[in-house]
């Protein structure tokens, strides 16, 4: 049961956003919620910032930066979807255990893991060669 503060924030959350600015506000609230409450989302955001700082320092070209942007965005999007799926499953089943709920949550988490691993590999492929050159190795 939401607290009075939570209920007041979005008591009409079931309504469709009336205008474009409201849609952006709701999206920003989702990002804020994920950043404040989801440790893994924060880890992915910080990792993305570090990767872009390193890519900028190594002077990667625009195509390589675009690939990095897509891979970081994919991980963040999947982390947001994972959070949404977990919330919907929890809403649907409450505190009860259901094997299908476990499957839904585990598969959503696995999607994030697959994206994170592939993102790491892509970052290594793009960052390691110029880093080795910069370090003279």
Dump pLDDT digits (tens) for 66-105: 999 999 999 999 999 999 999 999 999 988 999 999 999 9
- As given in the structure block, the two tokens for residue 32 are 């804020």
**pLDDT, tens only, 94-132:** 889 999 999 999 999 999 999 999 999 999 999 999 999
Residue 14 is predicted with a pLDDT of 63
79 is catalytic: yes
Residues 6+ positions from 60 with CB-CB distance below 8 Å: 68, 126, 127, 130
Average pLDDT of the chain, as a whole number: 90
Ramachandran angles phi, psi of 60, nearest 5° = -65, 150
> Any idea which fold 18-135 has?
Helix Hairpins (1.10.287)
| Choice among 79, 101, 115, 126 that is catalytic | 79
Residue 34 has pLDDT above 60, yes or no: yes
């Amino acid at each position: 049961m939401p607290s009075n503060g939570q209920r007041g924030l979005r008591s009409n959350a079931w309504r469709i956003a009336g205008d474009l600015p409201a849609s952006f506000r709701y999206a920003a609230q989702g990002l804020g919620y994920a950043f404040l409450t989801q440790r893994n989302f924060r880890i992915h955001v910080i990792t993305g910032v570090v990767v872009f700082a390193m890519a900028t320092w190594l002077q990667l070209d625009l195509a390589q930066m675009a690939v990095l942007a897509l891979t970081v965005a994919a991980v963040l999007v999947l982390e947001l979807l994972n959070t949404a799926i977990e919330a919907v499953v929890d809403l649907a089943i409450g505190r009860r255990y259901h094997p299908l709920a476990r499957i839904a949550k585990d598969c959503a988490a696995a999607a994030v893991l697959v994206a994170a691993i592939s993102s790491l590999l892509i970052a290594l492929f793009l960052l390691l060669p110029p880093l080795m050159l910069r370090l003279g190795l």
